[in-house]
Structure 1
Amino acid sequence: MQQNGTASPSTGYSQELNRTLTTKDLVIFGLITMLPIAPTQVYASASIESFGMAPLVYLIGMIAMFFTALSYSKMSQAFPIAGSAYSFVQRGMNPHIGFLTGWLIVMDYVIVPGLLVSFSTLWLSVVVPDFPSWLLIVLFVAVMTFVNVRGIEIGKRVNQFFLFGQLTLILIFLICAIKFVFIDGHGAGGFSLTPFWQSDIIDFKFIANAASIAMLGFIGFDAISTLSEETKDPTRTVGKSVVASLVLIGLLFMGQGYMASLAHPDYTNLDADMGYFDIIREVGGDVLYYTFIIAGVIFVGVANALTVQSAISRVLFSMGRDKVIPFSSFLGKIHPKYKTPANASLFVGVLSVFVGLFISLDTLTRLVNFGAMSTYMLLNLSVVTYFFFRKKNRSSVKHIFGYLVFPLIGFSVIGFIWTGFDALTYGIGFSWLFIGFIIILFKSKGFKEVPPALKGI
């Protein structure tokens, strides 16, 4: 890309954001977005649904999502710009389908910060029942918005601190669980393959259900690609970071899930919401139990929400820069001093407060699932469309697998999950898509115009 004020012929945009991020920074960003201590949220329900094989569920989910991660890697190499799947589908498949993809991402990520803050207030009520939830929501949103407006450098340091904190807590839990099982002889009393394999239960239906449970826990790895315009050598580092963060978080999930399964083999008496915390109390006592809850409130309400807000702010900035959404002139501006999409961050912050206060967790979860899965399907198809058909990269076995077979596997796996949503989720999702269709119909003057940056590219 060129310097400020001069549009790059390969992208159509001038370089406005500061390029400071390295591979390590991107991997940390991806890990924080997917949340290393995420089993606190989903382990118990995953264990109940999988007959005690939560670690296997995480493994299946990681493998299933791996193919979509490869698609993100390939598109980020071809189009190293902010916007993630919005930009990739826009340029790899069709500008108008790209807008609808971005519109789905907006539905997905713009509400996630509010969802995460709502989770935090729910957990805090266990420790401080009378704490005013509205105050925590406003406080957490204010902190993450301030950090994101000030710049990616501050966000990078905050992410490093929060990752260190989460990994420290995970290490303490693992040490306590190892002592509890292998030294004290409690729980399973030693190694067991049961959390990974029960031959009388595992079949194709089980694997399919396991994938549908686990994949939702990996939502967020794609956020790395929104930072392409703030990354050094993005064509080389972004794709590698997407895959690396997915594999690392999968290993962290499996490690925690395996030790939790050994510490408490009887999955039938787990509480679906607080079961993992109960296991933490069992192996580490009240101190570790309350520490995990308070840390979970902070890590989910601030750290996790911080990276998600950062990602969606850059998608909104990218769409605003292309003038394809309402309030484009406001959302597409960069802060003159901090070189961040400050207006988009402020918009997401205000919306997050509204979401956290007035929309139920169940409704938010439905919106997130529909938006994420739909986006991933379109992203996989864009790889096939762009590389295999448009660029005709199909002269070798490597090309056929990389640009056709693997993305179609990714599409099929995600498609299977997508077909399992209930009627209300489809109703909300397609209503949102219809609104987006009307917007792009008018913005493009009947699908006749494309964003200026795409002309001649």
Structure 2
Amino acid sequence: MLTPSEAATGDAANPAGDPEISKFGYTPQLRRSLTFTDLLFYGLIYMVPIAPFAIFGSVYAASQGMVALAYVAGLVVMLFTASSYAQMVKAFPIAGSVYNYAGRGIAAPVGFIAGWAIMLDYFLVPGLLYLVASVTIEAAVPSVSAWIWLVGFVAINAVINYFGIRLTAVAINIMIAGELIVLGIFLVMGIVGLADGRGNGDWTSAFFNSDNFSFGIVLGSVSVAALSFLGFDGISMLAEESKGGARQVGRAMAVVLLLAGLIFIAQTWVASLFVTDPAGLINGDAATVGNAFYAAAEAAAGAPWLATLCLVATAIAWGLPDSMVAQTALSRLLFAMARDKQLPKFLAKVSSKHASPVNAVLFTAGVSLAISGTALYYLTEQGEDTITLIATMVNFGAMVAWLALHAAVIWHYIVRNGSRNWLLHLVVPLVGAGLLIAVLINMKLYTQLTGFIWIGLGLVVLGVLFAMGRAPKLSGVGGSDDKAADVA
């Protein structure tokens, strides 16, 4: 509970009297308790520093062996997107991410569709993480069913998220240390393995192979590798809980993206040096592709212990800290849209004790369990590759939403506010949008079709809202406060 003095002054760790939120017509409810380090760790854990462990084989096959190049290209695409995020979080430092940025930067209906698109990402990511974690750890501990691991992971994360962002941040800071330790062990053993002559001697093909190179192949592999980069944007969901406000959020997104990108490039390059049969991996079956990183780890150490360590680390990382922050991001998106009456209002309920959107947290946990449980059933009982299907769908939703983000930067700053910062407010978003379109074009056809069906469903929902006289409307839009403080 707030003391009278805290309520009067609105101290940095307290939502009361928060001018950044109040000026948009909202009553501050979330607590400002996150430092720059908390945001950095949140973004890193959401991006999963060891994410390539699980999808290394898929990216390797899609890139025709140029796996490190796929991550370099992915980093470039994401840097343009991060720049647009930083510009919009300065203008609108509130929860909701691209939903709010597109809605306030262009128009509320556009924001609804952008939020709907990225909701596909945020709904599916926790389910994907739980699915991979459960299947992976069952392989390491076959005596315990994947279903038990699945329910356990969801329950633990729901409890931590329920008790508020501060506990979530503490848990994240502890868990990310474990991921980085395992990654460090892999890289050290990789160096040792190279020194002992266990590598394949192919030092450059992971970055460029003239026999296989084409822009279509690179862009197609980025559509898979992009899964590793998803999460830096989740930091923007915490704009109302950051002590340093909008600028701190923008800096955290840029720093975490660069750090994670370099980590991804380093580990995939090292792993590629221990691929014993490149052609076999490129053309391999699902089992070969799925176990590619662990096979490389075993080759690097010259013994199976490193493969087991990496496998268990992947399961724990994807099942606990990574899915935890994914659920946090989704709950904030649902909270933001419900607060604007574009989703059922019960999702906007905030616990006065824990300062967390408790109903959105519990709803997110239920949806994650349903998605991952359904996918696990079809994977184990029907033999369908639901992991790859969900991964590509996640990337589609995010990229469509990011297109709206780039458009919002141009419209809000250049068209509406007359900015003359042509680089950040026109050139960067145009190039960023062009790169995203190129990646979308090179996605698999079934991904494009399913993704556009989802967008079409969002348009139907939007039409129903208009027909019911509930057209999307954002609090505070239309007044002088809706303009950016600095458009230079």
Q: TM-score range by the shorter chain?
A: over 0.9
Partners in 2 of 1:338 and 1:164 — Cα distance? Answer: 26
Partners in 1 of 2:82 and 2:458 — Cα distance? Answer: 26
> Could you say which residue in structure 1 is the equivalent of 2:4?
none
Equivalent residue letter for 1:55: A
Q: Which residues of 2 match residues 56-455 of structure 1 at below 5 A?
A: 56-182=69-195, 184-188=196-200, 192-264=203-275, 266-270=277-281, 271-284=288-301, 285-325=303-343, 327-328=344-345, 330-359=346-375, 360-394=386-420, 399-444=421-466, 445=468, 450-454=473-477
Distance 1:18 1:273, change over 3 A: same
Q: Is the CA contact (8 Å cut-off) linking 2:396 and 2:440 kept in structure 1?
A: yes
Partners in 1 of 2:99 and 2:227 — Cα distance? Answer: 20
CA deviations over 1:191-227 (Å, ceiling 9, x no partner): 8333323344444344433433432331222101000
**Number of equivalences:** 449
Q: Is the CA contact (8 Å cut-off) linking 1:52 and 1:266 kept in structure 2?
A: no
Q: CA deviation at 1:63?
A: 1.0
Q: CA deviation at 1:455?
A: 5.3
Q: Is the CA contact (8 Å cut-off) linking 1:324 and 1:451 kept in structure 2?
A: no
Q: Is the CA contact (8 Å cut-off) linking 2:62 and 2:217 kept in structure 1?
A: no
Equivalent residue letter for 1:371: G
- RMSD over aligned Cα atoms: 2.2
Partners in 2 of 1:406 and 1:167 — Cα distance? Answer: 32
Partners in 2 of 1:410 and 1:221 — Cα distance? Answer: 16
Q: Is the CA contact (8 Å cut-off) linking 1:92 and 1:383 kept in structure 2?
A: yes
Task: For structure 2, list consecutive stretches of 5 or more residues without a partner in the other structure.
Answer: 1-8, 282-287, 376-385, 483-488
Q: CA deviation at 1:342?
A: 1.1
Distance 1:425 1:261, change over 3 A: closer
Q: Which stretch shows the higher mean deviation, 247-256 or 198-207?
A: 198-207
Partners in 2 of 1:296 and 1:39 — Cα distance? Answer: 9
Partners in 2 of 1:83 and 1:73 — Cα distance? Answer: 14
Q: Is the CA contact (8 Å cut-off) linking 1:192 and 1:262 kept in structure 2?
A: yes
Say which SS state the counterpart of residue 451 (structure 1) adopts.
Answer: coil
Distance 1:388 1:124, change over 3 A: same
Partners in 1 of 2:465 and 2:65 — Cα distance? Answer: 51
Partners in 1 of 2:42 and 2:279 — Cα distance? Answer: 35
Equivalent residue letter for 1:425: T
CA deviations over 1:100-119 (Å, ceiling 9, x no partner): 11112222212221111111
Partners in 1 of 2:449 and 2:469 — Cα distance? Answer: 25
Equivalent residue letter for 2:416: R
CA deviations over 1:351-399 (Å, ceiling 9, x no partner): 11111111343543343122111111111111111111111112xxxx1
Distance 1:346 1:279, change over 3 A: same
Partners in 2 of 1:401 and 1:29 — Cα distance? Answer: 29
CA deviations over 1:225-257 (Å, ceiling 9, x no partner): 000000012221111111111111111011111
Partners in 1 of 2:278 and 2:119 — Cα distance? Answer: 37
CA deviations over 1:143-188 (Å, ceiling 9, x no partner): 1111111111111111111111011001111111111112x12214
Equivalent residue letter for 1:365: A
Q: CA deviation at 1:348?
A: 0.5
Partners in 2 of 1:364 and 1:192 — Cα distance? Answer: 32
Q: CA deviation at 1:449?
A: 6.0
Q: Which stretch shows the higher mean deviation, 160-169 or 121-130?
A: 121-130
Equivalent residue letter for 1:25: D
Provide the identity percentage: 33
Partners in 2 of 1:20 and 1:377 — Cα distance? Answer: 31
> Could you say which residue in structure 2 is the equivalent of 1:31?
44
Q: Which stretch shows the higher mean deviation, 126-135 or 330-339?
A: 126-135
CA deviations over 1:268-303 (Å, ceiling 9, x no partner): 233211100111122232222222212211100111
TM-score w.r.t. the length of structure 2 is 0.87
CA deviations over 1:42-76 (Å, ceiling 9, x no partner): 21222233333211221111012110111111111
CA deviations over 1:396-444 (Å, ceiling 9, x no partner): xxx1111111111111111112223444434433333333333333434
> Could you say which residue in structure 1 is the equivalent of 2:54?
41
